[in-house]
Each structure stands twice: as C-alpha cells, then as structure tokens.
C-alpha cells in the first residue's frame, strides 16, 4: 500500500471524531495514536523479555535506563503490560494513561508535546476513546513493513490533509521529499569519496527540522554509499507536534534524541557553540520575525560578528535570511574539513534590499568570504502551500580548489515531472533520474544553457549618489505663504507676504522680501516652501560657493565592482546630464571608498532568452481566421 493510500486509510478515523471535535483538532488526536502504534510495533518482538527483566530488577534500585534499552534492542522501552489491543472497553482511560506513563522518559516527552493526556480526557468525555484506540490496534507499522522513509511520508501526508481541513499551512511543517533528496544529494555528493571510508562519523543539523525529513534523507543517502558510516543527527524545531514526530522517528532509528531540541531557533539557540559537518534546512518562506525581534536585535547589537547575526539583519517581514546566518554560525573551519550547507529559500533573498541594507550586507559577507558554491533554481509548483519560485543555496566553508572564487548558477526550473494528482499547490515532482541529472550538472561544473559560472565579484556593485544643482524659481502664492505661516520655524511672514512676481535667483527674492544675512536653515526652508525647479534659474550655492544639490533630482548609479567609478560616470552619466557630480561624501562603511557596496544575484537575468515578437503578418492571419470562424458560427445561428 503506498503512503498516500495508507494515509487516507488513517484519515478515515476522522469520521469517528466528526461532530464531537473540530476539524482543526483531528490531527492532534490521530498523530499521537499513530506514533504510539509505531512504537508499539517496534517494541513487540522484545516486549515479554523486557517485562521479565523489569520484574526481576524493579525492586533493586537500579537505573532502568541502563538495563532495559539493551533488552528492548532500542533506545526506549515500556514496562506496561498494556497494548492498544488490550486496553479494554472499560477503564480505557486509566489503562491508556498507565501505558503511556510506563514508557521511558524519552518517549513520555513525545506524548507530552502532543498534549496527549488532554486529548485522552476529551475522547473519554465523548465516549470515543475505546473506539479510536481500537482503530489503530491492528495497523502493521513495524519498520520491516513500513520503512522509516515511508513512515515519514505517511506522517507528512497526514499533516497536509489535517492542515487543509483546518485551512492551515502545511508547508510550514515539512519539505517535499523530492526537494529534500535533491538538496541532500547536492550537499553530500562532493564528499562521497570521504564518506566511503571505514569508521566515518559525521554530524548533520537542521535548524527548522519539522518532522525530520532532511535528517532522515541525509542518513539514508550516506547509508546507500557506506553502511559502516555513522551520521549523528542534530536539530531544533519550534512546533511541538512535528518535533514530537521527529523525536519518535529518531528514537526508532536508535539515535540519541537529546540532540533534537525543542524551541525557537532564532531567539534561543539550544545548540549554541556546536558546529556540524552538514547543515540542511527549509525555513518558512516570507514569514516575519516580529515575535523574536528584540532578542535578535540584541544579539546583533551586542555580539556583532561574535554572534550569529553580525553581518546585518533582513527586513522584519521576511526572516529566512536569519536562518541562513544561523546555519553559517554552525560552520567548521577549513582545517577541520569545513561545513557544507543546503538551504531552500524563495527568490527574495537573492535580490531584496539595496546597497547597505541588511540583506545586501548578508550577501556581501557570504560572497566576500567565498562560501556560496552554487544556486539551483527549482521548478515552480514544487511545494504544497505555494507555487512561487524557489532556490537551493549550496554553501561550503571549504570549497574545492577549482571552485574557489566562483559561483555556479544552475537553472533546473524546466527539469520536473507533472504530478498525476496535485497535492495542494504541488503540481510537479522530481524523479530519481532528474535528481541525478541536476547533481551531475553541479558536479560537472561546466558552462551550458542551464549552468553559468561567475566570479563572486560579478554580483557586486558600488552605488554612487549622483547630484544635480539646485535651480529654483521663486514666487509667493496664497497657498505657499499660508503653509509657511503655519510651519514650525516660520520667519518674516509679513515681509514675504508682500513679495510679488517671479525670481530666478534666491538673492533677488530675499532682497525683495528685505531679508539680509539669512541663515543656512532659513535659506533651506525658503527653498522648500517658495521654490520650484526651473532649469534656467541661477544655481544656488552655499557660503563657500559650492552648488547645493537638488534632492528632487538626486539619483543613484550602480557601478560594477572593479570598474573605475569616474570612468563609468563620464561614460554613462555626463553625456545625459552634464551638470551632475558624484557625492564623494557617501562612502562605504567597510572599505572607505566612494560609493556604497552592494551585492545581488539577479538569477533570471543570466538565463534570459530573448523571444522576438510575432510578425504583424502572422497576427493579421490569426485575426482573420478567428473572424472567419465567428462569421461561420453566426451563419449557423441565423439559419
């Protein structure tokens, strides 16, 4: 039975809940029962042996956590005599609570995060507890029948269905497994030779783990290459229910779940100071970070580069780049082999924010440190809750020699297979051959129609401020004199009210008003209230005779890094505005040179293909054909 059919069968349990529970609550009841049955199936072969050993040592004051896992053959156990099939139709609540309470503490934590005891009570009140429990008792969920990978798909399919039923956003919880597999392959593939050795131990980390798909995929991929390699998973997840599923999944696989942390990664890094060999994540797209704004701002301000957010902060409306910075804070130095990172982001982190903005400074930090290895554009309609364009960022803090100083852009947007049945917004998927082909393009590191290679500096520019002289025509009108009179720092109201006519220079205007020795502030305000741009007016200068800039004519030019700004200015600006000049006071805060350095990666520009418009003759022919078809239809109607 495929996971979708299997998940649909589980979903049918929701029919029992109809009327007594809201649709939004179905998942919170069904998912913990699924986890319980899964754990029960795993423990079934050694259940009697564990109970016998428990009876033998229970009164000896021994630490059961040191004894019983070895008998159970797992990192968890239960000392309860109950199973879902033996709860009974009477005292079901007490028996189920006894069952849960006698699991080892690492499993009890899972059910606490599900708030399972609360739902047990509500099911009992609705007289549904025995009926619902009975629906799960015969499900065969042992890993030999339903693999961990398949079980993960079942959980994710159920989460999606529950989310759709309650108008929730399933995409916040997990990433489609084909995207997971591609990102994992891109991150791990260059280390395949190293991972094939004996006694290999590596760490993998996901800062927005969801149900643990990236962790499972990484473990599975390395297992395919080398069954003797050990991958140790680490993670942090905010949602209690998906964290519970992730913990249960890793318990069944025999991992230490103390490494799977629960909490908000951005405001409280529970693995602070840890570094990892591999990092993979798909943080939420376009989600604001207002809730954690204070601790994030404080870390940025107080710790700077000693913290996670030293380079800068993105706009509050989208926190995805904060996760990118967080992952980079987990990097190992090159002498320790470095860290490879794969993160799935929307298009906005590639280009949002101009020079000097938080987003641009983050891109600058990454590119100037030469950590960005590749960007892979995915097809649209790949995710369950959005059809937007998405990209896999592949980063390495220890690039291969031939990749140093270079970034590879891969346009895989046309590599996909249509879904036979849409799953939410997901209409396309990547089969194994397409994943392999994309990884091959990355590994080949060659220029082609879908692969472009650039020097890191080619994404940078220097934004110069272009000023033009302030030339104003002055006059007093009923409207502007009234605004002047009502302004905060109004002076000479009576004198200015008597001025008539138009003046092409400020000195004549001030003389007409009888104003002598005006302050710089007064001149500025008079220009604001009584002046209008006029190209034939006299240029207004400061006390030193330097022309004042017109803020309304101020413009900016992005000069590619490496190009002389004066040569660029003479070639691109002066021919169009001969009176313009560069504001040399606007300098970059890092290198101190004129112009603010910015970085952006306009991905589509590099793969743009010009399609010439159709000829007028072809358009006329089509119009004529349509007109003839309409005429024929009208003839049939009027017969």
Instruction: Give the pLDDT means over successive 10-residue stretches in the chain (639 positions).
Output: 66 84 86 92 94 91 90 93 92 95 94 94 94 90 84 77 57 73 92 79 93 88 86 94 90 90 96 96 90 96 96 94 97 94 95 95 97 96 84 96 97 92 84 95 96 97 96 94 89 92 94 90 91 94 90 95 96 96 95 96 88 86 90 80
Q: Could you tell me the two tokens for 342? A: 């794969």
pLDDT the model gives residue 565? 96
Alpha carbon 279 to its chain centroid, in Å, reads 14
Q: How far apart are CA 417 and CA 406, in angstroms?
A: 31
CATH number of 170-458: 3.40.50.150
Q: Tell me how far apart the alpha carbons of residues 55 and 79 are, in angstroms, rounded to a whole number.
A: 9
| Distance in angstroms (rounded) separating the CA atoms of residues 377 and 370 | 20
Name the phi and psi angles at 391, rounded to 5.
-140, 145
Instruction: Give residue 164's pLDDT.
Output: 63
pLDDT at 171: 43
Taking the C-alpha atoms of residue 390 and residue 383, their distance in angstroms, rounded to an integer, is: 9
Integer CA distances (angstroms), 337 to 194, 195, 206, 398, in order = 11, 12, 19, 7
Looking at 350-446, which runs of residues are DSSP E strands? 372-377, 390-396, 406-411, 417-423, 426-429
* φ, ψ dihedrals at 411, nearest 5°: -95, 95
CA distance 16 to 128: 8
pLDDT of res. 586: 96
For residue 175, the model assigns a pLDDT of: 80
At residue 221, the pLDDT reads 87
Which of 326, 179, 315, 318 minimizes the C-alpha distance to 264?
326
Q: Where in the chain is the domain with CATH 3.40.50.150?
A: 170-458
Give the global pTM. 0.86
User: How far apart, in whole angstroms, are the C-alpha atoms of residue 420 and residue 184?
Assistant: 25
Contact indicator for 184, 221 with CB cutoff of 8 Å:
yes
Is the alpha carbon torsion for 557, 558, 560, 565 positive or negative? positive
Q: Are strands 531-533 and 472-474 parallel, antiparallel or unpaired?
A: antiparallel
Residue 469 CB partners (closer than 8 Å, separation 6+): 539, 540, 547, 548, 549, 550, 579
b/e 96-125 (16+ beta carbons within 10 angstroms → b): bbebbebbbebbbbbbebbebeebbeebbe
Backbone angles phi, psi at 56, to 5 degrees: -75, -30
């Amino acid at each position: 039975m495929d996971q979708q059919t299997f998940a649909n069968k589980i979903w049918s349990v929701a029919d029992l809940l109809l009327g007594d529970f809201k649709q939004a609550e179905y998942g919170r009841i069904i998912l913990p029962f699924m986890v319980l049955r899964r754990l029960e199936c795993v423990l079934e072969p050694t259940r009697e042996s564990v109970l016998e050993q428990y009876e033998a040592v229970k009164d000896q004051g021994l630490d059961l956590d040191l004894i019983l896992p070895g008998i159970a053959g797992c990192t968890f156990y239960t000392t309860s005599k109950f199973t879902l099939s033996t709860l009974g139709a009477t005292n079901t609540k007490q028996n189920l609570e006894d069952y849960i309470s006698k699991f080892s503490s690492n499993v009890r934590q899972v059910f606490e995060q599900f708030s399972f005891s609360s739902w047990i009570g509500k099911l009992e009140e609705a007289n549904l507890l025995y009926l619902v429990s009975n629906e799960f008792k015969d499900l065969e969920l042992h890993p030999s029948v339903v693999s961990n990978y398949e079980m993960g798909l079942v959980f994710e399919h159920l989460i999606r269905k529950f989310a759709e039923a309650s108008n929730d956003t399933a995409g916040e919880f997990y990433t489609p497994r084909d995207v997971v597999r591609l990102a994992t392959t891109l991150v791990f593939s260059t280390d395949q030779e190293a991972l094939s050795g004996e006694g290999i131990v590596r760490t993998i980390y996901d800062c927005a783990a969801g149900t643990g798909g990236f962790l499972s995929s990484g473990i599975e991929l390395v297992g395919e290459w080398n069954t003797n390699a050990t991958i140790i998973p680490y993670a942090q997840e905010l949602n209690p229910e998906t964290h519970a599923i992730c913990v249960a999944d890793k318990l069944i696989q025999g991992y230490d779940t103390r490494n799977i942390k629960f909490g908000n990664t951005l405001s409280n890094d529970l693995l602070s100071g840890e570094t990892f060999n591999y990092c993979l994540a798909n943080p939420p797209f376009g989600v604001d970070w207002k809730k954690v704004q204070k601790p994030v701002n404080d870390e940025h301000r107080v710790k700077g580069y000693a913290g996670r957010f030293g380079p800068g902060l993105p706009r509050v409306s989208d926190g995805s780049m904060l996760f990118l910075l967080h992952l980079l804070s987990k990097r190992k130095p090159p002498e320790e082999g470095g860290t490879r990172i794969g993160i799935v982001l929307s298009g906005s982190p590639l280009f949002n924010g101009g020079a000097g903005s938080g987003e641009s400074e983050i891109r600058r930090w990454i590119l100037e440190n030469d950590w960005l290895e590749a960007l892979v554009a995915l097809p649209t309609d790949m995710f369950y809750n959005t059809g937007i364009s998405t990209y896999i960022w592949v980063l390495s803090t220890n690039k291969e020699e031939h990749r140093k100083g270079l970034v590879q852009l891969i346009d895989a947007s046309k590599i996909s297979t249509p879904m036979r049945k849409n799953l939410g917004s997901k209409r396309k998927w990547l089969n194994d051959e397409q994943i392999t082909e994309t990884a091959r393009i990355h590994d080949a590191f060659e220029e082609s129609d879908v692969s472009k290679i650039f020097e890191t500096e080619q994404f940078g520019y220097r934004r110069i401020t272009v000023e033009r002289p302030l030339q104003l025509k002055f006059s007093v009108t009923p409207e502007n004199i009234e605004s002047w009179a009502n302004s905060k720092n109004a002076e000479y109201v009576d004198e200015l009210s008597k001025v008539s006519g138009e003046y092409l220079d400020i000195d004549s205007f001030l003389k007409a008003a009888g104003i002598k020795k005006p302050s710089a502030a007064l001149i500025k305000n008079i220009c604001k209230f009584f002046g209008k741009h006029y190209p034939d007016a006299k240029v207004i200068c400061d006390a030193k005779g330097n022309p004042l800039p017109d803020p309304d004519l101020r413009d900016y030019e992005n000069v590619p890094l490496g190009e002389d700004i004066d040569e660029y200015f003479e070639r691109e600006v002066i021919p169009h505005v001969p009176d313009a000049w560069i504001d040399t006071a606007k300098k970059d805060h890092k290198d101190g040179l004129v112009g603010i350095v910015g970085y952006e990666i306009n991905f589509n520009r590099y793969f743009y293909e010009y399609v010439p418009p159709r000829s007028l003759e072809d358009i006329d022919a089509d119009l004529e054909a349509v007109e003839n078809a309409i005429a024929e239809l009208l003839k049939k109607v009027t017969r």
